[in-house]
């Protein structure tokens, strides 16, 4: 409908059409989020950094974050991914910064019915990733699950969550029944519609036995040009069993934006100072240089290349780049209008993998920088 309207405008008044498109009047495409049946914008909104996060993110302007949320919805975006722990502050540990800011946006805009909201339950033992041999009773006891669901509903000022996700996971948790009974009880109470898992970093199959239970509708996984292992087993499983795939870290914490180089220095209090050490930045320069050789007529920027690579996989329901500035919201949402990459370019991108784990927290029972 919109594309036809744009074409009519373009034929009649070319200049006006060009100006309209420059202001990011785009056509957002939607995909089904697995067996939830929810129609979600293929470009979602990752909200980890919108309200800062002690030890992880700094520099957010809360007013601009609010404007960015509003602009995202104006442009057709309807999937907001948050977490109870996002926006953490040790001086106010009961604060849920990201959820509270989203709640403020919903109150001011009156657009609760325009968006699907997904949040996450952080592990009670505060260990990322979930460690092997640690029982689920220490990570997600029933009382903790129920408490965080209630806290999220309060922070967001909503009655029902469209999707609640476990923030870490070990597939051995499937052996226990308490969590299964707990989520069933919460669902029947009308507090959560659907359940998902945000799986451990770089462990894309550490969830398949749990998915076999039929209780989980979505998987959130790291998936980007550098980390393509989800295509081996997870994505085929998702396609066969109708599991919604939410692609996180699509821009490699900024490494695939083109804005981070060996000369980059991070603000005090940002985890990326440890993620991108000087030695790793030198390696990043080399990989980005190879990717920039693929930019041309088909793709104009590195972020566009990174996001369209992910969306060229039909198994992906939505990709959730982190955004807190208006310009990034407009640029990233515009990717939906561009369509899939050519098969030739996809073939070249498959050669650009760079499998590694730069996150500082790893399971001590595994090798450093563990990769599945």
Helix or strand or coil: residue 60?
coil
- DSSP secondary structure of 114-153: G-EEEEEEPPTT--SSPPTT--HHHHS-HHHHHHHHHHHH
Give, for 187, the enclosing helix (H) or strand (E). helix 178-188
Could you tell me if residue 5 is inside a domain?
Answer: no
What is the predicted pLDDT for the residue at 128? 92
**Contact 146/186 with Cβ under 8 angstroms?**
yes
3-state secondary structure 273-291: HHHCCHHHHHHHHHHHHHH
Q: What is the pLDDT along the chain (372 residues), one digit of tens a residue?
A: 333 333 333 333 332 223 244 444 568 999 999 999 999 999 999 998 887 767 665 667 889 999 999 999 999 999 999 999 987 766 777 778 799 999 999 999 999 999 999 999 999 999 999 999 999 999 999 999 999 999 999 999 999 999 999 999 999 999 999 999 999 999 999 999 999 999 999 999 999 999 999 999 999 999 999 999 999 999 999 999 999 999 999 999 999 999 999 999 988 778 898 899 999 999 999 999 999 999 999 999 999 999 999 999 999 999 999 999 999 999 999 999 999 999 999 999 999 999 999 988 878 777 655 567
Could you tell me if residue 119 is inside a domain?
Answer: yes
Alpha carbons 16 and 8: distance in angstroms, whole number? 11
CATH number of the domain enclosing 254: 3.20.20.100
Could you tell me if residue 366 is inside a domain?
Answer: no
The contacts of residue 101 (CB under 8 Å, 6+ apart) are 47, 50, 51, 62, 65, 66, 69, 87
Q: How far is CA 364 from the centre of its chain?
A: 26
* DSSP secondary structure code for residue 226 in this structure: S
What are residue 63's phi and psi, to 5 degrees?
-65, -40
The contacts of residue 356 (CB under 8 Å, 6+ apart) are 226, 369, 371
Could you tell me if residue 4 is inside a domain?
Answer: no
Could you tell me if residue 50 is inside a domain?
Answer: yes
Full domain range(s) for residue 244 = 29-352
Alpha carbons 182 and 145: distance in angstroms, whole number? 8
Could you tell me if residue 17 is inside a domain?
Answer: no
Helix or strand or coil: residue 253?
helix
What is the predicted pLDDT for the residue at 100? 94
Domain count, the chain: 1
Provide the token pair at 325: 């500035």
Provide the token pair at 191: 């507090």
Could you tell me if residue 207 is inside a domain?
Answer: yes
Alpha carbons 46 and 249: distance in angstroms, whole number? 9
What is the predicted pLDDT for the residue at 27? 87
Could you tell me if residue 16 is inside a domain?
Answer: no
């Amino acid at each position: 409908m919109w594309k036809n309207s744009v074409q009519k405008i373009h034929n009649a008044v070319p200049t006006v059409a060009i100006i309209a498109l420059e202001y990011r009047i785009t056509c957002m495409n939607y995909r089904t989020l697995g067996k939830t049946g929810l129609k979600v914008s293929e470009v979602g909104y990752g909200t980890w950094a919108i309200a800062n996060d002690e030890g992880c993110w700094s520099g957010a302007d809360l007013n601009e974050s609010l404007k960015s949320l509003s602009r995202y919805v104006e442009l057709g975006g309807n999937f907001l991914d948050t977490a109870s722990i996002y926006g953490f502050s040790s001086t106010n540990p009961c604060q849920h910064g990201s959820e509270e800011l989203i709640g403020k946006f919903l109150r001011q805009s009156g657009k609760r019915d325009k968006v699907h909201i997904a949040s996450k339950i952080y592990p009670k033992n505060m260990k990322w990733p979930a460690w092997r041999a640690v029982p689920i009773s220490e990570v997600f006891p029933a009382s903790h699950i129920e408490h965080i669901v209630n806290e999220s509903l309060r922070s967001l000022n909503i009655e029902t969550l469209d999707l609640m996700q476990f923030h870490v996971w070990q597939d051995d948790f499937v052996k226990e029944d308490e969590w299964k009974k707990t989520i069933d009880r919460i669902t029947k109470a009308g507090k959560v519609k659907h359940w998902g898992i945000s799986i451990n970093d770089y462990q894309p199959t550490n969830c398949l036995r749990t998915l076999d239970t039929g209780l989980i509708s979505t998987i959130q996984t790291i998936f980007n040009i550098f980390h393509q292992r989800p295509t081996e087993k997870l994505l085929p499983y998702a396609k066969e069993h109708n599991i919604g795939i939410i692609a996180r870290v699509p821009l490699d914490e900024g490494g695939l934006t083109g804005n981070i180089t060996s000369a980059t220095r991070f603000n005090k209090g940002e985890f990326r100072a440890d993620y991108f050490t000087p030695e790793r930045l030198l390696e990043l320069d080399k990989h980005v240089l190879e990717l920039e050789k693929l930019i041309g007529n088909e793709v104009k920027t590195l972020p566009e290349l990174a996001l369209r690579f992910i969306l060229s996989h039909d198994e992906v329901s939505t990709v959730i780049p982190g955004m807190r500035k208006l310009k990034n919201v407009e640029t990233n949402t515009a990717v939906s209008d561009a369509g899939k990459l050519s098969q030739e370019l996809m073939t070249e991108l498959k050669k650009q993998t760079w499998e590694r784990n730069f996150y500082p927290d790893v399971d001590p029972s595994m090798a450093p920088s563990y990769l599945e």
